A and B are shown apart, each in its own frame.
Chain A
Amino acid sequence: MVAIQKKVFEISLLSFFLVILSFYAHAQDDLLQMAQEAGKTKDYVFATFKDTRIVNLQSIETTKKNSLDFLVQHRFGNAGVDAFHGLLGLDASRDIRIAFNYGLTGNFDINLGRSKMNELVDLGFKWRFLSQTADFKMPVSVALYMNCGLNAQSDASFYSGVTDNTFSKRFVHRFDYVTQLIVASKINSKLSLELIPSIYHRNFVKGALNPNTNVADENELLSIGGGFRYKLTKRFAILADYMYTFSAYRKDNPIFPYYHPLSVGIEIETGGHVFHLYLSNSGGIMENNFIPNSPDSWGNGGYKLGFSISRSFWLGN
């Protein structure tokens, strides 16, 4: 009986994904048809954002077709706490991510990265299946972002705190998944807005219960994120994003403090390069790290400096 229920649950989950996928495919067909009917006069909005990320959150942009981007991202320690002895937290780097992004088509890229935090290896893709048109007949661009993360820590680290010797350790425990729908709109030449509903699933969670309510850490975390980019001059823009996670476990938890990640940054464009410099209270760079775990608050000096540098290699003809 129980097995049947579980099977039904899994099948319904799978069919849910497939239905969504077929809807996407259908929507794209429609768009293609519309584009063909209208001839080549259709103007799509470009450069809603300048990079594949706003600060923490994914932006609507994908890597250019046939371009391989090599990316090094840094997140340092708490700037407000280690101001003098840690040189604004630069001595205590929290996360470093080395990644490759490759643009398969103009609207689809694949990403592979490795982070210091939790020794996370992430493989994902972003697919922009709807593009905003300049005449606002289609007011938004919409993309699907999915990744699968692998926590590559040693068994002793990954299962630290598991006191029960009979607990069966399985390799699939190490996987986690991010699924996000990215809805963005370029309001005018200066302002771009974005909204990201997100589901994060971990195959395995561990930890003490919230002592106030006995609520346990959740395998699924639902979040909603928002962000914007405001262009001040031709080469200079300000960025901000925020992600709110719905979690009863993380609410008022004295042994597991959680502050929803808020990031602000500046973007400087220097002829072919986009340079991001920002402050954020989250320590992790990837969604797989900052959604479940963000223990520092802006109020306690828990903001961290971060920047990313990238280099593009052209692999096309």
Chain B
Amino acid sequence: MLKKSVGILIIICTLLYSNSCTKDAYYPDVCFQNDILPIFLTKCATSGCHNSKDHAKRIDLTNYDGIMRHVSPHYPAFSSAYTQISSGEMPPEGYSALTEKEINLVKAWINMGATNSSACSAPCDTAIHTFSGGVQPILDMYCKGCHGDQVAKGGINFSSYAGVNSIKSSRLLGSIKHLTGVLPMPEGASALSECQINTIEKWVNEGSLNN
């Protein structure tokens, strides 16, 4: 009796498990218009191949809609636009092959849902390294979830200048640069981009002003 109920419990769990199971991703540095389309344009839509004029095998890879006919969002393994290039079948011999980095970028874009994204990653310019213009937006985006008015983990609150300035600058920089001796931040995620770290470092070097 007990064995039976345990069995039923497991089957229910498995059904719940496979029904709530999904697959989604967000990679800030993958952008269709800036990163993905240029790959298809230079490597696949060359003269005589998959462009809107020649339509080799009736495939047109010069625009989003044309590419999406060969893409199954979130499932690179079911997307011929990815499987053809990852297996090396395309481009054919004699044409310049895709680099490993390009192939992986296409895979990441499909994993992410293959959206027609244009202005993706937050612009970062180390020339703008004032508190309000450069530093605060980065802290808002990456840190305030845990170090804000609502949560303030470790007693650290980045929602105002006073809160940021109360942290020793060596500790702030050490954390985001993943130096030993301080907790690497953001916790459990990849580090900030080099440009973002440089922006904060420049602001610190100029005296951590409230500007």
Q: Which residues of chain B from 1 to 19 have any CB-CB distance to chain A below 8 Å in the complex?
A: 2-3, 6-7, 9-11, 13-18
A87 to B75, CA, bound (A): 48
The 21 listed contacts between A and B (C-beta, < 8 Å) are A5-B75, A13-B18, A77-B183, A78-B180, A104-B2, A105-B6, A156-B144, A156-B150, A157-B145, A164-B28, A172-B22, A203-B22, A204-B26, A207-B190, A208-B28, A213-B104, A216-B25, A217-B27, A219-B24, A253-B190, A293-B188
Interface flag for A6 (CB, 8 Å): yes
Q: Number of contacting residues on A, CB 8 A? A: 69
**A163 & B141 in contact (Cβ 8 Å cutoff):** yes
Q: Which residues of chain A from 121 to 173 have any CB-CB distance to chain B below 8 Å in the complex?
A: 125, 127, 146, 148, 153-164, 167, 170, 172-173
**Interfacial chain B residues near A292, Cβ < 8 Å:** 188
- Given the interface contacts A5-B72, A108-B6, A216-B108, does A157 sit within 8 Å of B146 by beta carbon? yes
Distance from A173 Cβ to chain B, minimum over Cβ atoms (Å)? 6
**B188 & A300 in contact (Cβ 8 Å cutoff):** no
Interface flag for A82 (CB, 8 Å): yes
**B24 & A203 in contact (Cβ 8 Å cutoff):** yes
**B27 & A209 in contact (Cβ 8 Å cutoff):** yes
**Interfacial chain A residues near B101, Cβ < 8 Å:** 213-214
**B145 & A154 in contact (Cβ 8 Å cutoff):** yes
Going nearest first, the 4 A-B pairs with the smallest beta carbon separation are: A157-B145, A156-B145, A216-B108, A214-B104
Interface flag for A81 (CB, 8 Å): yes
Q: Which residues of chain A from 197 to 240 have any CB-CB distance to chain B below 8 Å in the complex?
A: 201, 203-209, 213-217, 219
Which residues of A line the B interface, CB within 8 A?
A: 2, 5-6, 9-10, 13-14, 17-18, 21, 25, 28, 77-78, 81-82, 92, 104-105, 108, 117-118, 125, 127, 146, 148, 153-164, 167, 170, 172-173, 175, 177, 201, 203-209, 213-217, 219, 253, 255-257, 289, 292-293, 295, 300-302
Distance from B187 Cβ to chain A, minimum over Cβ atoms (Å)? 8
**Interfacial chain B residues near A255, Cβ < 8 Å:** 190-191
A82 to B180, CA, bound (A): 9
**Interfacial chain B residues near A104, Cβ < 8 Å:** 2, 6
Which residues of B line the A interface, CB within 8 A?
A: 2-3, 6-7, 9-11, 13-18, 20-30, 72-73, 75, 78, 100-102, 104-105, 107-108, 111-112, 117, 120-122, 141-146, 148, 150-151, 178, 180-181, 183-184, 186-191, 193
CB contact between B11 and one of A21, A82, A146, A301 (< 8 Å): that residue: A21
User: Which of A2, A6, A92, A253 has the largest count of B CB atoms less than 10 A from its CB?
Assistant: A2
Distance from B139 Cβ to chain A, minimum over Cβ atoms (Å)? 10
Nearest residue (CB) in B for A25 is B7
**B72 & A157 in contact (Cβ 8 Å cutoff):** no
**Interfacial chain B residues near A163, Cβ < 8 Å:** 28, 120-122, 141
A204 to B20, CA, bound (A): 12
A219 to B30, CA, bound (A): 17
Distance from B70 Cβ to chain A, minimum over Cβ atoms (Å)? 10
**Interfacial chain A residues near B2, Cβ < 8 Å:** 104-105
Distance from A197 Cβ to chain B, minimum over Cβ atoms (Å)? 18
Distance from A96 Cβ to chain B, minimum over Cβ atoms (Å)? 13
**B6 & A146 in contact (Cβ 8 Å cutoff):** no
**Interfacial chain B residues near A159, Cβ < 8 Å:** 26, 145
A172 to B17, CA, bound (A): 11
- List 11 other contacts, CB 8 Å, given A127-B10, A163-B141: A14-B14, A17-B17, A156-B150, A160-B143, A170-B24, A204-B26, A213-B104, A215-B104, A215-B108, A219-B24, A300-B180
**Interfacial chain A residues near B21, Cβ < 8 Å:** 13, 175, 177, 201, 203
A208 to B23, CA, bound (A): 17
**Interfacial chain B residues near A156, Cβ < 8 Å:** 144-145, 148, 150
A216 to B21, CA, bound (A): 20
Nearest residue (CB) in B for A11 is B18
